[in-house]
A and B are shown apart, each in its own frame.
Chain A
């Protein structure tokens, strides 16, 4: 088990290193920090002086070292647009995205497990077949289209739900949460449903197919031969084995969810990291782009590593023997 953990952590560190190199490369090639920070009306000499002062004439490895050193301390540069440290901007906008992902994940968890399990146990029932049919359709509709359709239906035509923004927020320390007000919930409802709209059918189908495969295995047949009740066979013997691969897939899907937040936040003008990213793209705000990359990269590596570790803990064949 320990060997497994160490190996995973090492892998994570390598990936983070690679990300930082990419981030650095981006920083060097996009935009001109001097121009952004000093404006147009500064003379050539002053600009060169400034360049020297910023250390932009140093060899690349020195600059990288500085970049990496700063990054470890949490300094990811200064946003051209906001004229504030990029880290600060990110931390300010992170809660919005995190809450969105949280609510969306809850929706997925809450619905996919029972629906997936049910359609595996009774695959030929009308409900299961309708579910499978609609889930193919769900998977074929891109996230942003779902979002737009929801806005059109619930905001424009019916006027029930607000179409943009987060609504009324309550500040808990530095974290502005929308989950403590009704208004906040009204605002988060559509975006989170839209965000989960592609993942939900995916997970339902995944759980269903995993469980169906498990139900065909020898040990399940043996469980039946022992005369165990349906409940015991389905929910104890089959379920745990089904969950294992689903955990792994869940981890990977989180990365995809982050990409989808960009799409969703754009449609709903949700002031989170995704929205911030698109704005930074439009404004060529390189430091902010780099900061976003680093942040997202670390979060994804972190989550993937944690998911793998959890998997190692939950799966007895790894936990005890330590070898996969």
Chain B
């Protein structure tokens, strides 16, 4: 059975004035129908750009250098412009980070909703489009939706705007939603509501969800599986509960340990020493080696591929030996 989404060895590069840099270095993961996957990492780890690459929307000067993005068997990295446009907003919807910046200030909510429907269903009548929009607004719990359709983005609060964005994402009944930091720009109290809403909707409509975030707490609540990214590579993959409870990769271990919940009351917070390298300064071998408490000689020379850890999670770490280690791995 073909997976909903299969990303294989995705390499994304940026052609800057000063030279080329690699943003992702062979990222791979799979998503089944209705599965909720968390893509976790710090800013600059390459998770957002991976998310955008799925619908081929990376900002210039970035581009997909190699790899595949197979959506139900079709490689989206290689299809025509028209084809990808028919998939965007239709079968794969995206939710961006800051709802104030995402909605066009000079167009009504109604326009911004119905245009998606009309774009992908040119024969749909205005009335039908409007009704669908109203239905989705109700689904995201926006009160008096009829009035709201004719209002402008600045007339809504931040939380409501994000709900509207979610409503827009649902309009065409997509099979996959990519949410890029959907709650980072919102108040803490609203974050939980929005995430609950999103999770409910995905469950009811059997939609796949890729949740891109740096917030481990949110990911732990919502997702079934998790992929942790560091400096452009996936360093650990596995079921969420397992990765959080028993992380295999030293970086993930550091992340979990750094959560406030992991420190006792009145104790200092645990930190991972050093900083994630910038794209231009990635060290040879394993990119985490300068900061790793378990670093060995081989770590500085060879970059480990993903291999099973002690509990079945996949981790890119030499602590868990693999037959492929002595060949020239990526």
A and B touch in the complex (CB under 8 A): yes
User: Which A residues contact B (CB, under 8 angstroms)?
Assistant: 217-219, 221-229, 232, 236-237, 240-241, 244, 315-317, 320-321
Residue pair A227, B96 in contact (C-beta under 8 Å): no
Residue pair A320, B106 in contact (C-beta under 8 Å): no
Residue pair A320, B104 in contact (C-beta under 8 Å): no
Residue pair B101, A315 in contact (C-beta under 8 Å): no
Q: Which of A219, A229, A320 is within 8 Å of B103, CB to CB?
A: A219
Most buried by A among B98, B104, B120, B168: B104
B96 proximity list for chain A (CB < 8 A): 218, 221-222, 225
Alpha-carbon separation in the docked complex, A224 to B115 (Å): 12
Residue pair B106, A315 in contact (C-beta under 8 Å): yes
Q: Which of B59, B107, B120 is within 8 Å of A227, CB to CB?
A: B120
Alpha-carbon separation in the docked complex, A66 to B106 (Å): 49
B86 contacts the other chain (Cβ, under 8 Å)?
yes
Residue pair A223, B104 in contact (C-beta under 8 Å): yes
Residue pair A229, B107 in contact (C-beta under 8 Å): no
What 4 pairs across the A-B complex have the smallest Cβ distances? A226-B89, A227-B88, A227-B89, A218-B101
Residue pair B104, A237 in contact (C-beta under 8 Å): yes
Alpha-carbon separation in the docked complex, A84 to B102 (Å): 62
> Quick one: closest A residue to B102, CB to CB?
A222
B104 proximity list for chain A (CB < 8 A): 219, 223, 237, 241
Residue pair B116, A320 in contact (C-beta under 8 Å): no
B221 contacts the other chain (Cβ, under 8 Å)?
no
> Quick one: closest A residue to B100, CB to CB?
A218
Residue pair A225, B154 in contact (C-beta under 8 Å): no
Residue pair B116, A226 in contact (C-beta under 8 Å): yes
Alpha-carbon separation in the docked complex, A317 to B104 (Å): 11
Residue pair B106, A316 in contact (C-beta under 8 Å): yes
The binding surface of chain A is classed by DSSP as helix
Interface residues on B, range: 20 to 34
Residue pair B119, A316 in contact (C-beta under 8 Å): no
Residue pair A218, B98 in contact (C-beta under 8 Å): yes
> What mask results when residues 74 to 90 of chain B are scored 1 for a CB within 8 Å of chain A, else 0?
00000000000111111
Most buried by B among A225, A237, A320: A225
> Quick one: closest B residue to A239, CB to CB?
B106
Q: Which of B89, B105, B106 is within 8 Å of A225, CB to CB?
A: B89
Alpha-carbon separation in the docked complex, A225 to B103 (Å): 12
Residue pair A236, B107 in contact (C-beta under 8 Å): yes
27 contacts between A and B (CB under 8 A): A217-B101, A218-B96, A218-B98, A218-B101, A221-B57, A221-B96, A224-B57, A224-B88, A225-B55, A225-B89, A226-B88, A226-B115, A226-B116, A227-B90, A227-B116, A228-B119, A236-B107, A237-B104, A240-B106, A315-B106, A316-B105, A316-B106, A317-B152, A317-B154, A320-B152, A320-B155, A321-B154
> Quick one: closest B residue to A214, CB to CB?
B104
Residue pair B85, A227 in contact (C-beta under 8 Å): yes
B11 contacts the other chain (Cβ, under 8 Å)?
no
> Quick one: closest B residue to A224, CB to CB?
B57
B93 proximity list for chain A (CB < 8 A): 225-226
> Quick one: closest B residue to A226, CB to CB?
B89
Cβ of B212 to closest chain A Cβ, rounded Å: 14
Cβ of B261 to closest chain A Cβ, rounded Å: 33
Alpha-carbon separation in the docked complex, A315 to B90 (Å): 30
Cβ of B140 to closest chain A Cβ, rounded Å: 17
- Contacts A225-B89, A320-B155, A321-B155 known; 11 new A-B pairs at CB < 8 A: A218-B96, A223-B104, A224-B88, A225-B57, A225-B93, A226-B116, A227-B90, A228-B119, A241-B105, A241-B106, A316-B106
> Quick one: closest A residue to B55, CB to CB?
A225
B94 proximity list for chain A (CB < 8 A): 222, 225
Alpha-carbon separation in the docked complex, A226 to B90 (Å): 7
A226 proximity list for chain B (CB < 8 A): 88-89, 93, 115-116, 119, 168
Residue pair B107, A237 in contact (C-beta under 8 Å): yes
> Quick one: closest A residue to B88, CB to CB?
A227
Alpha-carbon separation in the docked complex, A232 to B118 (Å): 11
A240 proximity list for chain B (CB < 8 A): 106-107
Residue pair B102, A316 in contact (C-beta under 8 Å): no
B55 proximity list for chain A (CB < 8 A): 225
A228 proximity list for chain B (CB < 8 A): 85, 89, 115-116, 119
Contact of A221 with B152 at beta-carbon distance under 8 Å, contacts A227-B119, A240-B106 already known: no
Alpha-carbon separation in the docked complex, A316 to B101 (Å): 15
Alpha-carbon separation in the docked complex, A219 to B115 (Å): 14
> Quick one: closest B residue to A220, CB to CB?
B104
B85 proximity list for chain A (CB < 8 A): 227-229
Residue pair A229, B119 in contact (C-beta under 8 Å): yes
Cβ of A295 to closest chain B Cβ, rounded Å: 36
Residue pair A227, B152 in contact (C-beta under 8 Å): no
Most buried by A among B89, B103, B151, B155: B89
B89 proximity list for chain A (CB < 8 A): 225-228
> Quick one: closest A residue to B101, CB to CB?
A218
Alpha-carbon separation in the docked complex, A237 to B108 (Å): 11
Q: Which of A221, A241, A244, A316 is within 8 Å of B154, CB to CB?
A: A316
Residue pair B119, A232 in contact (C-beta under 8 Å): yes
Alpha-carbon separation in the docked complex, A227 to B85 (Å): 5
> Quick one: closest A residue to B84, CB to CB?
A227
Alpha-carbon separation in the docked complex, A222 to B55 (Å): 12
Most buried by A among B88, B98, B105, B154: B105
Contact of A219 with B119 at beta-carbon distance under 8 Å, contacts A224-B88, A225-B96, A227-B85 already known: no
Cβ of A35 to closest chain B Cβ, rounded Å: 60
Alpha-carbon separation in the docked complex, A229 to B120 (Å): 10
Alpha-carbon separation in the docked complex, A222 to B107 (Å): 14
Contact of A219 with B102 at beta-carbon distance under 8 Å, contacts A225-B96, A228-B119, A232-B119 already known: yes
